[in-house]
Structure 1
């Protein structure tokens, strides 16, 4: 397996750019998601990666090999593409299909057996080994398609929009199998998706694709906690965006004020005098449940619960202050239920996680 590098790829449809200087590197053994909001954006990315669309501007490398001008047939020998639009012709059993692909690539019998056992164990396929691939349900089929791609030693596996059609229990098997094979250096994965939750759950790195460009690319946690723009932050989930006012050379005030006149002040140096926007994730707005509640140190404020949404293990909602409001999200504690609309509550906000947006 080798690293995949997409360098400054641009593509126009008519006069409009649909890709503009797109660059992305996926290291061997990494799982990377490209998150978009529109299906046609994923189609364009898939067509470029898989060779259905010629690259006229930019380059694409697999390791040191220039594959920019490889057509779809050549790329199909390197990449395996799996989508939720699955057409099945294979009449073989799962076991025979896997063994066939492994034997094509590995001559040593003990190594064949080892590879087969690793794949079966990773995706828990024991119960469907004798089942015809054509008779598999959608969840089983996705697992087997991925298993076959690994059996073929695909350099990079491309998954497009597969999560929404899979029952939850198969998502669990898929996630566990992917993580197990990743630990054994058997897997390099590119996920093309509009599903925020799965993009975050599965990926080492995430790229935010919007309006023909990659707005931000990096470690998934880093991009989530430190979005470079309000648009990126919003694509990954709820976010409070608050305009900061420059008070002096080293600090900004946020227009959130409670009944005790407590205001959020942020230390941040910026050379010009312009006001800037800051992001606060809802999980950084912690409602104090009781006196024994263990919380992080931070800015303590008082507000009124204005909106509540019970999400099972989570409670989300909005806190109104004398001036301004903030969304919150935290683990629900039923033993001391302060979560009632109209209740006055104390919240704690970690100033280290209040971050400037570009």
Structure 2
């Protein structure tokens, strides 16, 4: 798969001292859906704005289709943009909003009408062409904003927290629709969000940002199953974190002596060696309780502190290995429903279900 965007040693500072983006090297593949994910202030939005042309890189170079674009103004980059605020012209109809970027590019009138209709069909908004933005719901306005970004057939579409203003149900529906549009059109999409579930649902690859640095770039499943550091393990999904020191390493497995004195077997992360501290990441749904726990590689006694009913599963807060906030997710079956606050039960997990990170 060919590369459409390259960031080469890109840095960004606003005050001349603090780097918001630090030596970013990133290649975005043509046709992929890549999400820049991270907490507020991690540098993800700044990267998107530099790519769009609304911010200037302090150092380094950004290439689009092999050509440097640092000095090219936004309107000449052939990039579509979707904002959280929709940014529709309130005095123009839906069709006029979509026609605007085509008129700026001096597209012939009959071609404009064809392209507007095509873009509206793509987002199922063909019946609303004559409506004004104020006559549309939030979800409908966002569909129009997506259509406007696609109408001039850009080389690249950038989306900055586009679903942040929508309610949960509509947000999930729009996630599916945007993913469908991406798959049908073959467009390259670069998407920015701080919502991990949104990133996991939509992306081919995710770049996890923190402190201006990409912590890991991988597929959703790889980020979840094989985080490369403790930040990624905490930020992607939910994780129990146990602190200790690596006692030994044997190929892909290691033994970690926890701060409380217990020892556990875990899969060894890429940088793990038998010379330093480690953080063991363990997903709550990988943990067994009661009879099921006894055949696991790691088995401990746990005290049930709280039970929270979620319908399809029970969330159990336990005291395990010296931690009072140890979380276990259990299917809502007969065994789980027998648990009571104050119970002392076996808790266990396999070595390959937890990951030691340094």
TM-score, normalised on structure 2? 0.80
Match of 1:349 in 2: 349
Tell me how far apart the structure 1 counterparts of residues 21 and 259 of structure 2 sit (CA, whole Å).
Answer: 39
1:3 aligns with 2:4: yes
Deviation at 1:2, TM superposition (A): 6.7
Counterpart-to-counterpart distance in 2, 1:223 and 1:105 = 43
Which residue number in structure 1 is paired with residue 241 of structure 2? 241
Q: Is the 8 A contact 1:305 1:341 kept in 2?
A: yes
Partner of 1:67: 69
Tell me, yes or no, if structure 1 residue 131 matches structure 2 residue 131: yes
Change (3 A) 1:267 1:85: closer
Match of 2:37 among 32, 35, 38: 35
For 2:330 and 2:108, locate their aligned partners in 1 and report how far apart those are by CA, in whole Å: 49
Cα contact 2:44–2:212 (8 A) shared by 1? no
Q: Which residue of 2 aligns with 1:223?
A: 223
C-alpha distance in 1 between matches for 2:131 and 2:313: 40
Please, which runs of 5 or more residues in structure 1 have no aligned partner? none
| CA-CA distance at 1:143 after TM superposition | 1.4
Displacement of 1:245 in angstroms is 3.6
* Paired residue secondary structure (1:341): coil
Residues 342 and 145 from structure 1, CA distance in 2 versus in 1: closer, same or farther, beyond 3 angstroms?
Answer: same
Deviations 1:198-257 (A, max 9, x none): 222222211222112222222122122222222222222432222344444534134399
Q: Which moved more, 1:334-343 or 1:10-19?
A: 334-343
Q: Give distance in 2, aligned partners of 1:64 and 1:169.
A: 40
> What is the correspondence of 1:1-358 to structure 2 with a 5 Å cutoff?
3-12=4-13, 13-38=15-40, 41-75=43-77, 78-89=78-89, 91=91, 93-94=93-94, 112=114, 116=117, 123-125=123-125, 128-248=128-248, 250=250, 251-255=254-258, 264-266=264-266, 268=268, 272-287=274-289, 299-321=298-320, 323-324=322-323, 327-330=326-329, 332-333=331-332, 335-336=334-335, 337-358=337-358
Give the match's secondary structure for 1:264: strand
**Runs of 5+ unmatched residues, structure 2:** none
Contact persistence 1:79–1:156 (CA under 8 A): yes
Q: Distance in 2 between matches of 1:174 and 1:356?
A: 36
Distance 1:214 1:120, change over 3 A: same
Q: Alignment RMSD, CA only?
A: 3.8
The offset of 1:121, in angstroms, is: 5.8
Q: Offset at 1:141?
A: 0.8
Query: Any idea what SS the aligned residue of 2:302 has?
Result: strand
